[in-house]
């Protein structure tokens, strides 16, 4: 009996800026070299240290609009006046090849994926408290143009949307949060493996 190809896991991670989401995603990518990061397109300017094609594809508003019109995005959202979108082609390719993909996405994007019933695992990273989030945001300069109050307001809104997710991780201790994200990833693989012919393989064994 031919073995069914194991399906990859689409791992979607959300959380307000300052929750440590990017650090956790990076750690997971390091732990699992076969895991791919979904590189989004954005109209926001590149920050120091960011690289085209690794962190984002940086495009002009006109190009982004053209991509929307062509239906290139499986989802897209506007955040602080800048646009962010996930390439439909990339996602389809990953699914076809059975790859694991991690996507860093805001709550608007998640809503769109859910609407389209795209199978994925949704993880929400929470700060230990709003006070702590405020402290972390104050220490960040990269998003300096957006007022702190505005970012906190957005964080509150995002947190209010967390009930639509499969898993929550409170990032109080980064080491523990990293372990939790890893555990979720591994657990989701055990679920998939069960569904992809592991039992059939045992049963046909002589």
> Residues interacting with ligand 5GP, by CB under 6 A?
17, 40, 44, 75, 77, 79, 84-86, 104-106, 108-109
Q: Contact, 31 vs 121, CB < 8 A?
A: no
Residue with smallest beta-carbon separation from ligand 5GP: 109
Q: Which is nearer to ligand 5GP, 20 or 85 (CB)?
A: 85
In the complex, least distance from residue 147 CB atom to ligand 5GP, rounded to whole angstroms = 15
In the complex, least distance from residue 91 CB atom to ligand 5GP, rounded to whole angstroms = 10
In the complex, least distance from residue 50 CB atom to ligand 5GP, rounded to whole angstroms = 8
Q: Which two tokens stand for residue 39?
A: 């590189």
Distance CA(166)–CA(169), nearest Å, equals: 10
In the three-class reduction of DSSP (H, G, I as helix; E, B as strand; rest coil), residue 80 is classed as coil
In the complex, least distance from residue 79 CB atom to ligand 5GP, rounded to whole angstroms = 5
Q: Which is nearer to ligand 5GP, 44 or 189 (CB)?
A: 44
Q: Which is nearer to ligand 5GP, 22 or 196 (CB)?
A: 22
DSSP 24-66: HHHHHHHH-TT-EE--EEESSPPPTT--BTTTEEE--HHHHHH
Q: Which is nearer to ligand 5GP, 8 or 42 (CB)?
A: 42
Strand order in the sheet with 73-79: 56-58, 40-42, 82-87, 73-79
Q: Which is nearer to ligand 5GP, 137 or 184 (CB)?
A: 137
Q: Which is nearer to ligand 5GP, 84 or 122 (CB)?
A: 84
Contacts by residues 96-100 (CB-CB < 8 Å, ≥ 24 positions apart): 97/8, 98/5, 98/6, 98/7, 98/8, 99/8, 99/34, 99/36, 100/8, 100/9, 100/10, 100/11, 100/32, 100/34, 100/35, 100/36, 100/185
In the complex, least distance from residue 59 CB atom to ligand 5GP, rounded to whole angstroms = 12
In the complex, least distance from residue 107 CB atom to ligand 5GP, rounded to whole angstroms = 8
């Amino acid at each position: 009996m031919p073995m069914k190809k194991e399906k990859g896991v689409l791992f979607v991670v959300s959380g307000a800026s300052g929750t440590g989401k990017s650090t956790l995603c990076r750690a997971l990518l390091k732990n699992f070299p076969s895991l791919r990061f979904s590189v989004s397109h954005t109209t926001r300017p590149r920050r120091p240290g960011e690289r085209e094609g690794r962190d984002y594809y940086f495009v002009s508003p006109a190009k982004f609009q053209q991509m929307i019109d062509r239906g290139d995005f499986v989802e897209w959202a506007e955040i602080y006046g800048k646009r962010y979108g996930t390439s439909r082609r990339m996602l389809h390719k990953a699914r076809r090849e059975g790859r694991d993909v991690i996507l860093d996405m805001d709550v608007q994007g998640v809503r769109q994926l859910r609407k389209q019933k795209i199978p994925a695992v949704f993880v929400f990273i929470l700060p230990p408290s709003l006070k702590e989030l405020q402290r972390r945001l104050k220490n960040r300069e990269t998003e300096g143009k957006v007022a702190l109050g505005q970012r906190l307001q957005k964080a509150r809104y995002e947190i209010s949307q967390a009930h639509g997710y499969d898993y929550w991780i409170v990032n109080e201790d980064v080491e523990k949060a990293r372990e939790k994200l890893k555990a979720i990833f591994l657990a989701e693989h055990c679920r998939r493996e069960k569904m992809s012919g592991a039992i059939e393989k045992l049963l046909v064994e002589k």
